[in-house]
Amino acid sequence: MRSLRNQMIHEYVEDPVLLANALQTGHSFAPELIAAANKLISEIEQRGWV
């Protein structure tokens, strides 16, 4: 994920095929990122920070 993020942020992707592939790869990470966000929310709630 970090490598893809760095590629998308630090490089201007001119090739539409490469850009589409990068976006599709990023989309495939969505469930993992949502799970991580939910864990953080749960931890915050357990600590009473909300």
Q: Count of CB atoms within 10 A of residue 26's CB?
A: 15
Find the DSSP H helices in 11-46: 16-28, 30-46
User: DSSP class of residue 15?
Assistant: -
Pairwise CA distance, residues 9 & 39, whole Å: 26
This prediction has a pTM of: 0.70
pLDDT band at 11 (very low <50, low <70, confident <90, very high): confident
Could you tell me the residue ranges of all domains in the chain? 2-46
pLDDT, tens digit, for every residue of 18-45? 889 999 999 999 999 999 999 999 999 9
Yes or no: say if 19 and 40 are a contact pair by the CB < 8 Å rule.
Answer: no
Pairwise CA distance, residues 9 & 28, whole Å: 18
